[in-house]
Structure 1
Amino acid sequence: MPFIQVSIIEGRSKEKIAEVIQKITETVSETLDAPAENVRVLVTEIPKTHWGKAGKPIAKS
């Protein structure tokens, strides 16, 4: 059973999150010949204050 974890910066709509889950599921299912029902996707949204780039939180960029 494939288990895919995706970390993204918070702020996307529920519809966009659902779309990313659907497309990842389709891609993994086709690529690995795994039934879509067996593919699991976990999307974790990270607050901008908890995501850094070049030594600084991106919330300050």
Structure 2
Amino acid sequence: MPMIRVEMFPGRTVEQKRALAKALTEAFVTHGKTTPEAVSIIFVDVAKEDWATAGVLASDKQ
């Protein structure tokens, strides 16, 4: 059972997450050779102060 975990900053709407879930599932079915029912997706909203790149918090970037 494929599990896709998507971590991103908060702010996406339910409609955006719905569209992402559909697109990710379709891509995995096509390229991962599985069924839609086997694909699970978890969306995790991560606050900018909890995400750093190159040693800099996203909340500190312009």
Question: TM above 0.5, one fold?
Answer: yes
How large is the Cα RMSD of the aligned pairs? Answer: 1.2
Quick one: percent identity of the two aligned structures?
25
| Partner of residue 14, structure 1 | 14
| Partner of residue 34, structure 2 | 34
Structure 2 unpaired stretches of 5+ = none
Superposition TM-score, scaled by structure 2 size: 0.83
Superposition TM-score, scaled by structure 1 size: 0.85
Structure 1 unpaired stretches of 5+ = none
Q: 1:53 and 1:32, CA in 2 relative to 1: closer, same or farther beyond 3 A?
A: closer
- State the Cα deviation string for residues 2-61 of structure 1 (Å, max 9, x = none): 111111111111111111111100000111221101111111110111111332221121
Query: Does the residue aligned with 2:18 lie in a helix, a strand or coil?
Result: helix
